[in-house]
Amino acid sequence: MTSLHRVEKFMTRLLEVIVTLFFFFILSITITLVIMRYGFNAAIIGGNEAMNYLFIYTTALGAAVSIGSDEHIKITFLVDKLKAGPRKIVNIVKYLLVAFINAVMIWYSLPWIHSTGYFESPVLRIPSWIVQISVPIGCSLVILYCLYRIYIENAGRKSSLNRVNT
């Protein structure tokens, strides 16, 4: 097992734990808010806002995890019919396109964060950049995973986290 593979495996596991914790917090906040609203006719100030922010981070990090574990949305009907050589080329192009789209998202998100990031959220008074930075973080992780997947395709090996049936 190469050190690069160990780093990828650790990073994927860490991101999966973080996303799972965020989902747990979202579930806990939702249950608490429902009980407070319908049971006690009360509310937790900032609960909905915190839930939204956790969901945004979960989505950004979850996109990276899906690429890292090769479980992203894809239609492989035609690709599965290709021989090994053309399939390898299609997979490399696929990861290059996904990396390019995420690089464009990073490129456009940085000026957006710079221009609007100083505004505070209405209830929790959190600067917007704390939530907005999830876009370049998630997209950067997706690019890293795409580059790793291209490396795996070129090396002719499969990652231990690759769950594609071939």
Nearest residue to 8 (alpha-carbon basis) of 89, 65, 71, 74: 65
Give, to the nearest 10 degrees, the angle between helix 134-155 and helix 47-68. Answer: 10
Interval 7-55: pLDDT, tens: 999 999 999 999 999 999 999 999 999 999 999 999 899 999 999 999 9
pLDDT attached to residue 162: 46
DSSP lists the bridge partners of residue 120 as 127
List the beta bridge partners of residue 127. 120
Contact by Cβ (8 Å): 54, 20? no
| CA–CA distance, 41 with 97 (Å, rounded to integer) | 50
Distance of CA 50 to the CA centre of its chain: 18
At 166 the pLDDT is 39
Q: What is the pLDDT of residues 86-123, one digit of tens each?
A: 888 988 999 999 999 999 999 999 999 999 999 999 99
The domain locations on the chain are 3-155
Residue 61 scores a pLDDT above 80: yes
Q: Give the angle subtended at the CA of 11 by the CAs of 71 and 94, to the nearest 5°.
A: 40
